[in-house]
């Protein structure tokens, strides 16, 4: 049994259901359910969450399914976490709609929900700690257009079409190309589940079907790594732009195989999630969204202290 100090708090506007709630401030249990566990991105988020948990004297767990295609398994993890009657909950939803019934259960039990990385199509989360993925992907589109002479065919490999990150990065890139770069044509948008091997096969098929392809945008770590594998194995020269960081992407950028990528601030996302949960338990009002930032990086600025601080292996 956790040692807990019970405090009665008046919850601010947009916080828990009801006017007054009971919250646990010390050594609260806050499970975090991520979209996956296989990418270094999630390990960096976990590191940030653990730093905040230690600083705030709360207990967290951090788990996610083996791959980012396992929506049902994530829902099972969410259900199991709620069964433990946590004081608050963090969720990075694989499917922005599928998690809502369980989040409604959390809301009815007055368990504050904090979304991170990928929000849900609901106002249940008190806040969402995430990158502005639409703006970040638009920047990737501008970089792509510039590097291919603002003309030609490009393809897009996205991790999924159910999570907010997948939807927003796809739409951010596609809409920016359509509105700002009319001579650039997106010939294909494919989904690889964030799996680098599947994404590699998609990239090779994309290049074969479109022999004039000039570039590929990979919308997350696995998508970008897979695109790089596909291009390397094909022997072709394309402009590759990725998203996130990780050892493989950094090596591909330094070697010139990949032009550059958008990095998020995963440690900051983890810290923001736990910090926000603690604030909710204290009755503090939270903004509906917290932008944790993003940067473009390539071989020219990877050693810049500001950029290096948000890259990870």
What distance in Å separates the CA atoms of residue 172 and residue 84, rounded to the nearest whole number? 38
Supply the mean pLDDT for the chain. 91
The class of domain 133-263 in CATH terms is alpha beta
Task: State what percent of residues in the chain have pLDDT above 90.
Answer: 87
CB 4 within 8 A of CB 26: yes
pLDDT digits (tens, 9 = 90+) for 287-310: 999 999 999 999 999 999 999 999
Q: Give the residue from 172, 228, 239, 166 showing the smallest Cα distance to 203.
A: 228
Q: Say whether 133-263 and 6-130+267-293 share the same fold.
A: yes
Lowest mean pLDDT among 13-17, 46-50, 136-140, 161-165: 13-17
Quote the radius of gyration of the chain (alpha carbons, Å): 20
pLDDT digits (tens, 9 = 90+) for 270-279: 999 999 999 9
Q: What is the model's pLDDT at position 26?
A: 56
Higher pLDDT, 24 or 268: 268
What distance in Å separates the CA atoms of residue 266 and residue 310, rounded to the nearest whole number? 7
**DSSP single-letter state for residue 99:** T
Structural domain spans, the chain: 6-130+267-293, 133-263
pLDDT at 161 over 50: yes
CATH 3.40.1160.10 fits 6-130+267-293, yes or no: no
What distance in Å separates the CA atoms of residue 147 and residue 129, rounded to the nearest whole number? 31
For the segment 61-84, the average pLDDT, to the nearest whole number, is 96
For the segment 279-285, the average pLDDT, to the nearest whole number, is 97
Instruction: Classify 311 as helix, strand or coil.
Output: coil
The helix (run of H) or strand (run of E) holding residue 174 is helix 164-180
Q: pTM of whole model > 0.75?
A: yes
Q: What is the model's pLDDT at position 226?
A: 98
pLDDT at 18 over 80: no
pLDDT at 54 over 60: yes
Q: What is the model's pLDDT at position 27?
A: 79
Confidence of residue 39 (pLDDT cuts 50, 70, 90): confident
What distance in Å separates the CA atoms of residue 242 and residue 219, rounded to the nearest whole number? 6
Q: Give the residue from 144, 142, 99 showing the smallest Cα distance to 119.
A: 99
Instruction: Classify 7 as helix, strand or coil.
Output: strand
pLDDT at 17 over 90: no
Q: Give the residue from 158, 74, 143, 149 showing the smallest Cα distance to 301.
A: 143
pLDDT digits (tens, 9 = 90+) for 183-196: 999 999 999 999 99
């Amino acid at each position: 049994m956790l040692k807990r100090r019970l405090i009665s708090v008046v919850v601010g506007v947009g916080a828990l259901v009801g006017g007054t709630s009971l919250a646990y401030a010390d050594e609260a249990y806050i499970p975090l359910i991520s979209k996956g566990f296989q990418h270094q991105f999630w390990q960096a988020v976990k590191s940030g969450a653990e730093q905040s948990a230690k600083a705030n004297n709360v207990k967290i767990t951090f788990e996610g399914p083996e791959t980012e295609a396992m929506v049902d398994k994530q829902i099972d993890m969410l259900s199991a976490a709620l069964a433990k009657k946590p004081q608050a909950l963090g969720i990075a939803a694989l499917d922005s709609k599928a998690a809502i019934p369980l989040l409604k259960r959390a809301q009815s039990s007055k368990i504050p929900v904090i979304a991170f990385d990928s929000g849900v199509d609901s106002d249940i989360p008190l806040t969402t700690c995430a990158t502005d993925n639409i703006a970040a992907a638009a920047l990737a589109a501008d970089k792509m257009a510039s590097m291919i002479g603002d003309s030609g065919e490009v393809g897009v490999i996205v991790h999924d079409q159910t999570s907010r990150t997948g939807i927003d990065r796809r739409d951010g890139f596609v809409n920016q190309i359509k509105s700002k770069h009319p001579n650039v044509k997106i010939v294909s948008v494919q989904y690889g589940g964030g799996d680098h091997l599947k994404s590699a096969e998609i990239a090779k098929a994309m290049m074969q079907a479109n022999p004039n392809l000039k570039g590929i945008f990979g919308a997350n770590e696995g998508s970008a790594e897979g695109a790089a594998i596909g291009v390397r194995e094909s022997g072709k020269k394309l402009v590759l732009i990725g998203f996130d960081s990780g050892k493989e992407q950094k090596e591909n950028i330094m070697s010139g195989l990949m032009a550059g990528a958008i990095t998020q601030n995963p440690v900051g996302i983890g810290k923001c999630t736990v910090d926000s949960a603690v604030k909710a338990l204290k009755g503090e009002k939270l903004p509906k969204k917290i932008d944790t930032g993003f940067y473009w990086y390539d071989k020219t600025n990877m050693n810049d202290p500001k950029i290096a601080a948000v890259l990870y292996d």
